[in-house]
Amino acid sequence: MAKDERPAYEQVKGWIRQHIASGEWKPGDVVPSEASLMERFAISRMTANRALRELATEGLVKRVQGSGTRVAQLHRISSQLVIRDIHEEVAERGHVHSTRVIKVVQEKAEAALAESLGVKRGARVFHSVLVHLENGVPIQYEDRYVNPQAAPHYLETDFTRISPTHHLLEHAPLTEASYTIEACLPSAEEAKALQIRTSEPCLAMVRRTVSGANVASVARQLYPGTRYSFSGQFQA
């Protein structure tokens, strides 16, 4: 039998998918835990976590804090958005990811932000503004607000080494997300950071993520239209 050359996390995902597709594991059935997967596949906890996390964002399983992972109820047709770490995304293309930190501070939440984050008006929130680069070229301007209840150590993180997405997925496991994508023009500040003209069309994604009982973050991520595209899939 030919050796499976896929990355370990893809092998784990394939094994779980096979059990679901065959009908052996039905909606609501418990999926093996990270510890069980670590033992079965001789992998690290990070690899097991990534496999389950990606299956959850694909809609095949549902992870509930304190209750483990179960096979999800599948809809007839579902739009899928995979929340990925931009560092991993760039690395998979064989390129080098780097980050320029504009600011990482603590602020008081104004009314609209407080409502979106599910906190009281005037409550302290964390605010980061970063620029992500691929081979030295800016590809994303990230403006993110984080709920301290979900990620209390956010301000202490070195975002030149770890992306905000990676930090949040590790410390505030995703249970729900909503997003919008629209075309827009960058502000003068955004255009300067991205090294583009203010007349250059961009794609803006606004994403709100939930972890258990808390809204984890609200982020606006701006991409130059000539340097980035979104892709997805529909599953019957």
74-85: average pLDDT: 55
Q: What are phi and psi of 198, to 5 degrees?
A: -70, -10
* Across 96-116, average pLDDT: 95
b/e string for 100-113 if b means 16 or more Cβ within 10 A? eeeebeeeebeeeb
pTM for the whole thing?
A: 0.65
DSSP designation for 155: G
Q: What is the pLDDT of residue 177?
A: 86
- The confidence score (pLDDT) of residue 79 equals 46
Cα separation, 111 vs 127, in Å, equals 15
CA distance 103 to 109: 16
Mean pLDDT calculated for residue range 23-47 = 91
Q: Tell me the pLDDT tens digit for each residue of 42-66.
A: 999 999 999 999 888 877 888 887 7
